[in-house]
Structure 1
Amino acid sequence: MRIAELSKRSGVRVPTIKYYLREHLLPPGELTSANQARYGTEHLRRLRLVRALVEVGRLPIAAIRELLARADQPEPDLPNVLGHALMSMGPREHHPSEERIAAAEREVDDLVARRGWRISETAPARRAVAEVVATLRQLGVEEPITYIDGYAEAAELIAQVDMSLVRGRIHDPADLVYGVVIGTIVGDNLLAGLRRLTQEDAAVECPRSPQ
């Protein structure tokens, strides 16, 4: 298909497609002349992925480029791609000291062992959880790790749903990576919205303050 048809089918404007090409977010098309190229379904799929990362994930272009480079490896390391997708979602507002993070990391290691999770020592999410625990302590929340088990149990159920959505695509690595990235970034936004809905519902059961 020509770039005009690619634009029509993807919903992405031609100037934006050209920008993505310049930024190496989209692989070049097959040249048919000096200034004309043909694009295929793989370009359409990539455009939809980039659009989701930009519009829903709100990732900067540089982060998207690095994430896609990892995903485009011949045999992509899915845990690595997944971890990088999570870490690309923006800086944290609080920055605990390294000493606090180190203490929290030991607690997270205990949580991982207690839950029987098979997590690599270099998993970015391990430190991300430790930073949250350290931040909670810094903000005066006592023993945050004691109630994280409840969140961990819910996270296990969510992870099973996530993996069930991509297992059917495991025969095609490109589709599998697409599913993992979309599920991670778009799924996080979905979960945040669902959490707000269920919190409002749960709040109905909370006792009201006396007037």
Structure 2
Amino acid sequence: MRMAELSERSGVPTATIKYYLREGLLRPGRRINATQAAYDEEHLRRLRLVRALIQVGRMPVATAREVLVAVEDESLDHHSRIGAAVWSLPDAFPSTAPGTAPDAAAPGTEAPVPDATVEAAEQQATELLVRLGWGFGSAARGESPAFRTLVGAIAALERSGYPTTVEDLLAYGRCADQLGVVDIDMIERYEPGTRQVEAAVAKTVLYEPVLLSLRRLAQAEESNRRFGEGS
């Protein structure tokens, strides 16, 4: 297909497609002549992934490029490749990063604050993973953006006067364990290799608002059952 058809099928303006090509987010098409190139279904799929990362994931172009580099890293085994691609995604809640000021003006600008609360939160998060039987070594935990976010969230709960316990977190962890099974089951529907890695990235980005929305709807439903008197 020519760029005009790629634009029509994807809903992305041609000027934006050209920008993505210049920035290395999209592979060049097959050259037809000096001024035209042909694109295929792989370009269309990748373009949709790029749009998901930038529009839904709200990530900068440079970060999206880093994620796509991880997606294409065929030097890694399949598990490591999926992990590298997903871990390249930016923190969904940067204001909860551990070791940062709780009242900073904006995410990403917080000054490091040595804090015993963060150390306790890290111990709590580590105990949680051990009790769930999740095999993260200390090095892997330290490198994981998700683990750092978890630690920051636990510390923020403590500072806000709503401390949590490992027992509280275990209920969430067990639900998350089942969600992990559902996620990987869905990823396995796609052909192995780059297609599965792309699916892992896309579904991580696109399903996070689904999970947040369902949790809030479930809270409203349970609140109505307990306190709404049938309203």
The reply to whether residue 80 of structure 1 matches residue 84 of structure 2 is yes
CA distance in 1, matches of 2:60, 2:144: 22
The aligned counterpart of 1:9 is: 9
Deviates more, 1:137-146 or 1:7-16: 137-146
Residue of structure 1 equivalent to 2:95: 92
Aligned AA (1:126): F
C-alpha contact 2:7 2:17 (8 A) present in aligned 1: yes
Name 2:39's counterpart in structure 1. Answer: 39
Partner of 1:200: 220
For the 8 Å contact 1:59–1:90, the answer to whether it is kept is: no
Aligned length: 207
Contact 1:137 1:144 in 2 (8 A): no
Return the TM-score normalized by structure 2. 0.82
Deviation, 1:102, is 2.6
Matched, 1:140 2:161: yes
Matched, 1:168 2:189: yes
Distance 2:167 2:186 in 1: 31
The letter of the residue matching 1:17 is: I
Q: 1:189 maps to which residue?
A: 209
- Report if aligned partners of 2:91, 2:146 keep a CA contact under 8 Å in 1: no
Range with bigger deviation, 117-126 or 158-167: 117-126
Partner Cα separation in structure 2 for residue 65 and residue 128 of structure 1: 22
Q: Deviations over 1:54-100 (max 9, x none)?
A: 22222221211111111111145212222222x34363267354433
How high is the sequence identity, in percent, across the aligned residues? 35
For 1:41 and 1:88, how far apart are their aligned partners in 2? 30
Q: How much has 1:196 moved relative to structure 2? A: 1.6
Stretches of structure 1 that go unaligned for 5 or more consecutive residues are: none
Q: How does 1:36-75 map to 2 (within 5 A)?
A: 36-75=36-75
In the superposition, relative to structure 1, how do residues 107 and 81 fare at CA in structure 2: closer, same or farther (>3 Å)?
same
Instruction: Encode CA deviations 1:14-49: one digit per residue, 9 max, x unaligned.
Output: 111111111211111122222211111111110010
Distance 1:158 1:148, change over 3 A: same
Residue 23 of structure 1 aligns with which residue? 23
